[in-house]
Each structure stands twice: as C-alpha cells, then as structure tokens.
Amino acid sequence: MGLIKKIPVYLERLPGGGILTTSLDWVFDQSRASSLWYLLFGTACCAIELMATGASRYDFDRLGMIFRASPRQADLIIAAGTITKKMAPRLRLLYDQMAEPRYVIAMGGCTVGGGPFYYDSYAVEKGIDHIVPVDVYIPGCPPRPESLLEGCITLQKKVKKEKIKDWS
Amino acid sequence: MDRDELIKHLLEKFPEKIELLETGRAEPFFLLKNKDDLVAFCESIKTDENLDIDYLCNIGAVDTGERFEVVYDVASVKKHIRFDFKLRFEYEGAEIDSVQKVWPAANWYEREMWELYGINIRDHGNLKRFLLPDDWDQGHPMRKNWDAPDFVRMPEVE
C-alpha cells in the first residue's frame, strides 16, 4: 500500500494530474466493488439464506460475489448467524487474517444486536460491532435473499466512494 | 413389565427410599428422598434382574428458585422400561455423588451440571470446563440468581 498511497500526492502536482487520480480511483473502486469475494462464515439459520442467495435462483455471482473458504482470499466477511461469546474470538481472528481492504456485513438480528437472544442469554454476544467494525447491517430473522442482495449493493455503493488518498 | 407393575416393583424394593410423584406422563417419576442413597440406588436398579437398567438417557439439573433438583432419566433397552427419578437438595453445600461407576455416560452430563449450575460432583475425576469459553470467570450462568454486566433479563409483560 505504501507506494500506491503516494501516487495521488505526486500526480496532483502535475497539470491534469487530478483527472488521472480520479480515473485511478474509478478503476480501483469498480474492480473492488465488482468482485467482493466473501468468506463463508455461516453459524446459524442465516447461513441457509446465504446459501439460497448464492444458489441459482438469486445468483450472487451476478454481483461478482463468490464464496471463499479462506480468509486470505476474501474481501468481505458476511457474519451470517448467531455469534456466541465463545465464537467471538474466532470471528476476530478470521477478520484479522483477511487482507485489506476488508469489509464486514452483519446479517440478521443476532449479529446486529443479539436478536432473539437479547434477553435471558448468557452465551450470545449482543452485536458483532463489539468485535469487528461493521460496514452494513441487515436486519431480519433471518433476512430474505432480497434483503441480503440490497445490503450487498449498499456495500458496493460504499466501496465505490472510496479514494486512494483515504487508504489507510 | 408395564407401568403399574414397574411402580409396584420399585416401591416394594425401596419402600423407604423413594416415593411416586404424580406427573400425568407415561413414564413413572420418582423422588429419591435422600441424595446420599444415589449410587446405591443406581447400582441396585442396574443389577436387579427384573429391571436391568442399562441405559442412562439423560441427567438434567433444575434450579427452582428455592432449591436444586437433579433429574435422572434411565431406561432398560432389554426390558423396554423407562422411568425418571429426581433428587432435591438445598443450595448450601450443593454436592452429589458421581454415578459414573454405574453408567459411564454420566461423565459429560455431570461436567455440564457442575459448570452451569455449580453443583459439585464427588469422585468425578474430570471436572473441567465443558461448554463455556475457556476463560470464563462469571460463575454459573444457569442459576436463577446469576447476573453479569451485559446480562439483560426479560422484562415482566402484563
């Protein structure tokens, strides 16, 4: 990242360099947003909806989203299902293993804020934003595939707004 | 052996130790009056020729809010018998004997009971963390009076 971060700094000093920078932004953002490969992380019933979305009827692939079984190859982690306190450190570990830029979608009531396990539960983490930073929240119990697709399109919109000079 | 014969047989064999509880269920439900009789009772129902209880289906603990109850659900595969019995004891010094030497399957149930309810098991031999996270330090979460900083009770609904 170090070198590419300096490109806009030098380019913008040149005449017409700003146009080049925004074009670079556009190329990076389009390619990222159009191939958000997601990590399979299904821990409960939301995973069934995730699988349904990945199958031919809803066809995740048309958004360029393909499941990956390894965090090293994934850009996005869709936390689909209840995250218990025992699972929380594992989720954090997987998130840390992903290469940047990385995104998180909290799918379903449990990951948004505990959901049906909010009351009277000693085992469930009440929202995964205690563990990892979340980009898009999708409520529902479980959310329908349409909601998940909407959430992913929202994330694509967010990705498309990124600039090279904001990279960390 | 049908239900009535089973009840009669058990009440005659252990006249002072157990009593029948009315539950309305198909399987008879007994109360074992003294928890110190537990291992002897289990051994004798296992070795009894008419009962031949060779299968421990389940052990469950209950916190009623006043005392603990531990329910043993046992069966005989050969004789097609199934019945439950339970123990009652107070919170103070909650401790029972392990029934592993009668049914080795009790090991995990007893570990779970020890972990979630804080009921100590004598002669268990393997009382280690079972279901809760390895670094858990917030006590026994299935007790009625348990509390934790992020634990939210269901509000009373009218």
If asked whether residues A29 and A41 sit together in one domain, one would say no
Question: What was the pLDDT predicted at A149?
Answer: 94
If asked whether residues A142 and A64 sit together in one domain, one would say yes
Q: Binning pLDDT at 50, 70 and 90, where does residue B49 land?
A: confident
What sign does the CA torsion over A123, B123, B36, B109 have? Answer: positive
Is any Cβ of chain A less than 8 angstroms from the Cβ of B141? yes
pLDDT tens for residues B9-46? 999 998 888 999 988 888 899 999 988 889 999 999 99
Do B144 and B116 touch, CB atoms closer than 8 A?
no
If asked whether residues A93 and A71 sit together in one domain, one would say yes
Is any Cβ of chain B less than 8 angstroms from the Cβ of A86? yes
Q: Which domain holds residue A8?
A: 1-33
pTM: 0.83
pLDDT tens for residues A104-128? 999 999 999 988 999 989 999 999 9
Chain A nearest-CA distance from B152, in A, is 5
Question: What was the pLDDT predicted at B15?
Answer: 87
In a domain, A72, yes or no: yes
Q: Determine how β-strand B68-76 pairs with β-strand B55-63.
A: antiparallel
**Burial, A156: exposed, middle or buried (Cβ in 10 Å; 0-12, 13-18, 19+)?**
buried
Report the SS3 class of residue B136.
coil
Q: Binning pLDDT at 50, 70 and 90, where does residue B94 land?
A: confident
If asked whether residues A97 and A133 sit together in one domain, one would say yes
In a domain, A115, yes or no: yes
If asked whether residues A49 and A24 sit together in one domain, one would say no
Q: Which residues of chain A, if any, have pLDDT below 50? A: none
What sign does the CA torsion over B133, A115, A57, A94 have? Answer: negative
Enumerate residues 6+ apart whose C-beta is below 8 A from B5: none
Closest CA to A54 of A78, A71, A74: A78
Nearest CB to A86; choose among B133, B146, B148: B133
If asked whether residues A26 and A108 sit together in one domain, one would say no
If asked whether residues A15 and A60 sit together in one domain, one would say no
In a domain, A167, yes or no: no
Q: What is the CATH number of the domain that holds A90?
A: 3.40.50.12280
Say if the Cβ atoms of B133 and A119 lie within 8 Å.
no
If asked whether residues A70 and A150 sit together in one domain, one would say yes
Closest CA to B141 of A87, A89, A84, A42: A84
- Dihedrals phi, psi of A158, to nearest 5 degrees: -65, -45
Task: Give residue A29's identity as a one-letter amino acid code.
Answer: D
Mean pLDDT of chain B: 90
If asked whether residues A61 and A103 sit together in one domain, one would say yes
In a domain, A168, yes or no: no
If asked whether residues A88 and A104 sit together in one domain, one would say yes
How many domains, chain A?
A: 2
Average pLDDT over residues B90-94: 87
Closest CA to A33 of A159, A166, A165, A168: A159
Question: What was the pLDDT predicted at A168?
Answer: 59
Average pLDDT over residues B92-117: 91
If asked whether residues A21 and A78 sit together in one domain, one would say no
Is any Cβ of chain A less than 8 angstroms from the Cβ of B146? yes
Question: What was the pLDDT predicted at B129?
Answer: 87
- Dihedrals phi, psi of B112, to nearest 5 degrees: -65, -40
Domain spanning B3-94: CATH superfamily: NADH:ubiquinone oxidoreductase Nqo5 subunit (3.30.460.80)
Question: What was the pLDDT predicted at A1?
Answer: 58
Do B73 and B45 touch, CB atoms closer than 8 A?
no
In a domain, A22, yes or no: yes
If asked whether residues A48 and A113 sit together in one domain, one would say yes
pLDDT tens for residues A49-64? 999 999 999 998 999 9
Is any Cβ of chain A less than 8 angstroms from the Cβ of B128? no
